[in-house]
Homo-oligomer: A and B are copies of this chain.
Amino acid sequence: MRARRRGAFAFRIAFSGLLSALLIAGLAHAELPVETTGQVESLPATLGPHWAWAADAVLRRTALVDLESGRTLGTLDGGFGITSGLFPTRRREIYLPETHYSRGSRGERTDVVTIYDAANLLPIAEVRIPPARAFNTLVAGNASLSDDDRFVAVFNYTPATSLSIVDVQNRTFVAELATPGCSLAYAAGPRRFASLCADGALLTLSLDAAGRESGRQRSEPFFDPAKDPITEKGVRLGDTWLFVSFEGLVHPVDVSGPAPRFGERWSLLDSADRREGWRIGGQQHLAIHEATGRLYSLVHQGGADTHKQAGTELWVYDVAQRRRVQRIELRGPGFTYLGVPIGFDWPWPFSRIPDWLIRFSPDLGVGLVAVTQDAQPLLVTGSNFSGALAIYDALSGDFLRRVAPGNMTTVGIQTPWAGVEAPR
């Protein structure tokens, strides 16, 4: 080791000598100002509402992209599984559940919730949790942040089911709460989480100020998992979670009160739609815009068991009126080869190849949709086998552009920073 240290020292001396020599020369003659090394960017003060995080299964990361300029703003490496962050509104932080092995794919397993500074994307704290995180294809639902931004619940599956509770304010692991027969975690109140049970019931777990369990309720089954199960890809409108079943029925669950109230079901599909074989489907098939109360649902034409098939159209609903207000014909997000976009600037008709392919091969279709929450909302759509994203105006439904954050795949899209207007 001595050798190495000595060498490094010598090198640095020599190098800094060279540097200063150059600097003098620079100061003396340079037309361009001499610049300093070591500078690292931070994100703009205002976290843009038109920014989206896109998760890549191959690169095991999520990339932050500006949907207007197409610029990649930064990345977060997440370890094994889908990299999916939690975004508080009260703190400029990002909470990222991660799993790592000491030797890459083997060795000792470590599960943590890493606290990142949302301003510079640097890890500022880490909380160890039981090495029991569940791994599946969900973007949301495996971990959730309580409405008061205080506690994170991480879903464990070993195959026993439980929630690991982390106090992200005090950076401590609080407890692991068993949720026998119930899975996943959905925020359901200031300090409450809800889980879906195998029998169609809803389990709600309440926490006290310290994060300890202060009570739990298991509802009667509110749907029949055998007949027509709801997907786990629910979206939240205010205090109401909207879950949609394989057959297209919306199941509203109001979590504002002490006990969840299960609202009246309504259908995304009318008899004509069903005759034409339209179904809901996709890895992330629902998105909601809170201010306008609009629900966006990916749909395709297919048979039974196609609840995970990608969409060819995006149907828009007015939740209050429970009716469809628009049908958006989807464009293909385009393809990426090793992360590099293919043919974004090809002339017609080549420019339409991706659009045609998603209809020829449903596996290439649009499986993911998200919407920004500002007053000029954008729709972000993605396909699993491409890192490219197709952007639409969420109000008019007009296709705007394609962007490529450098990903090879897209397995999750998040648009967390909605509160503030983007600087124009």
Residues of A within 8 A of B (CB): 1, 3-8, 10-11, 58-60, 77-79, 98, 100, 102-107, 110, 112, 114, 123, 130, 132, 156, 158-162, 176-178, 180, 335, 337-338, 385, 408-409
Knowing A1-B176, A178-B3, A409-B338, the reply to whether A102 touches B103 (Cβ < 8 A) is: no
Pairwise interchain contact B60-A162, C-beta atoms closer than 8 A: no
Bound form: Cα–Cα A8–B180 in Å: 11
A177 / chain B contacts, CB cutoff of 8 Å: 3
Known A103-B123, A337-B337; further 12 A-B contacts with Cβ < 8 A: A3-B162, A4-B132, A4-B160, A7-B159, A7-B180, A8-B158, A11-B159, A98-B103, A100-B102, A100-B103, A103-B114, A338-B385
Q: Which residue of B lies closest to A2 (CB)?
A: B178
User: Hey, which chain B residues are within 8 Å of A176, CB to CB?
Assistant: 1, 3-4
Closest to A79 in B: B104
Q: Which residues of B contact A106 (CB under 8 A)?
A: 77, 123
Given A98-B103, A102-B100, the answer on whether A7 and B161 have CB atoms closer than 8 Å is yes
CB pairs A–B below 8 angstroms (21 shown): A1-B130, A3-B162, A3-B178, A4-B178, A5-B160, A6-B160, A7-B180, A8-B158, A11-B159, A58-B408, A60-B104, A77-B106, A79-B103, A79-B104, A98-B104, A100-B104, A100-B107, A102-B110, A103-B112, A337-B385, A408-B408
Identical copies of this chain, number: 2
> Which residues of chain B are near A337, meaning CB under 8 Å?
335, 337, 385
User: A75 to nearest B CB, angstroms?
Assistant: 10
Which residues of chain B are near A59, meaning CB under 8 Å?
A: 58
Chain B proximity of A178: nearest CB distance (Å): 3
**How far is B123's CA from A335's CA once the two chains are assembled, in angstroms?**
38
Q: Is the CB of A3 within 8 A of B123?
A: no
Residue of B nearest to A126 (CB): B103
Query: Which residues of B lie under 8 Å from residue A130 when comparing CB positions?
Result: 1, 4
How far is it, in angstroms, between the C-alpha of A180 and the C-alpha of B7 when the chains are bound?
8
Partner of A180, one of B1, B3, B156: B3
Residues on B with C-beta less than 8 A from A10 are: 160
Q: Which of A11, A110, A159 is the most central at the interface, judged by chain B CB atoms within 10 Å of its CB?
A: A159
Q: Is the CB of B8 within 8 A of A160?
A: yes
In the bound complex, do residue B77 and residue A105 qualify as a contact, i.e. CB atoms below 8 Å apart? yes
A160 touches B11 (CB 8 A): yes
Given contacts A100-B103, A102-B102, A337-B337, contact A162 B4 (CB under 8 A): yes
A178 to B8, CA, bound (A): 12
- Bound-state CA distance A130–B7 (Å) is 15
Select one of B104, B158, B408 contacting A4, CB under 8 A: B158
Report chain B residues within 8 Å CB of A110.
102-103
Contact A156–B4 (Cβ < 8 Å): yes
Q: A58-B58, A338-B58 are in contact. Are A7 and B102 (CB under 8 A)?
A: no
> Smallest CB-CB separation from A408: which chain B residue?
B338
CB-CB < 8 A to A58: which residues of B? Answer: 58-59, 338, 408
A140 CB, nearest partner CB in chain B, Å: 22
